[in-house]
Amino acid sequence: MRKHSKSYILYSALGILLSVVPPAGATLSYFPLWLDKGAAHTLSGTALLLITLSALPVLRIAMARLKTPSAPILWLIVFLFFFAMSKIADELTVVAFFGFVGNLSGAVFFRLARRSISENEKPS
For position 56, what pLDDT does the model report? 84
Amino acid 96: pLDDT: 66
pLDDT score for 114: 75
pLDDT value at position 34?
78
Backbone angles phi, psi at 43, to 5 degrees: -75, 140
Residues of the chain with pLDDT under 70: 1-2, 4, 69-70, 87-93, 95-96, 118-124
Q: Is the whole model's pTM more than 0.75, yes or no?
A: no
Distances (CA, A) of 51 to 28, 37, 85: 8, 21, 14
Q: What is the pLDDT of residue 69?
A: 66
Phi-psi region of 11 (alpha: psi -120 to 50; beta: other; left: phi over 0): alpha
Predicted pLDDT of residue 119? 65
